Amino acid sequence: MIFNDKEEVLIVKTSYKDHWSIAGGVVEEKESPKETLIREVKEEIGLDLKEVKFLSVDYIFDHDYNHGENLQFIFFGGILSDNEIKNIKIDGQEIIDYKFVRIEEVINYSDTRTTARLVESFKALKNNLAVYLEDGK
């Protein structure tokens, strides 16, 4: 989760999903979740994150047998300055748009499970702790 100085979260629209999400991606071989975040943010929006803070891990059950069970990690990537926001670069192919929205507005852009995960992670950030979730709860 990356924010602007208005406490709005940065969300991205990918070309391959029907909803918005946050920058990030899938762990590659011999790569930690933290390393994945730093690499994916650089690839997706062109920013170099220096410090990140773990906020949550969400265990996703394989309800539909299509994607397999998995773990979704959320980290706090900081608060961007106006200059850093101006340096956001999207490729127009994988990431086709980005915007900042209030955490309460994420439900208007994302799927239910992602929204629940982001809301709980935001609470963890505000309370200076980390949380374990299962299917966003």
CATH code of the domain containing 111: 3.90.79.10
**Per-residue model confidence (pLDDT) at position 113:** 87
Is the confidence at residue 10, as pLDDT, over 80? yes
Is the confidence at residue 91, as pLDDT, over 90? no
Confidence of residue 15 (pLDDT cuts 50, 70, 90): very high
pTM for the model stands at 0.91
**Per-residue model confidence (pLDDT) at position 59:** 95
Q: What is the CA radius of gyration of the chain?
A: 14
Tally of domains within the chain: 1
Residue 101 tokens, joined: 């929205």
Whether 1 and 55 have beta carbons less than 8 Å apart is answered as yes
Section 2-18 average pLDDT = 95
Is the confidence at residue 99, as pLDDT, over 80? yes
Confidence of residue 39 (pLDDT cuts 50, 70, 90): very high
pLDDT digits (tens, 9 = 90+) for 54-73: 999 999 987 666 667 899 99
Adjacent-strand bridge partners of 10: 100
Section 81-107 average pLDDT = 95
Q: State how far the Cα of 51 lies from the Cα of 56, in Å rounded to an integer.
A: 16
3-class state of residue 7 by DSSP: coil
Domain containing 14: what range?
2-134
Q: State how far the Cα of 123 lies from the Cα of 33, in Å rounded to an integer.
A: 21
Q: What percent of the chain has pLDDT over 70?
A: 96
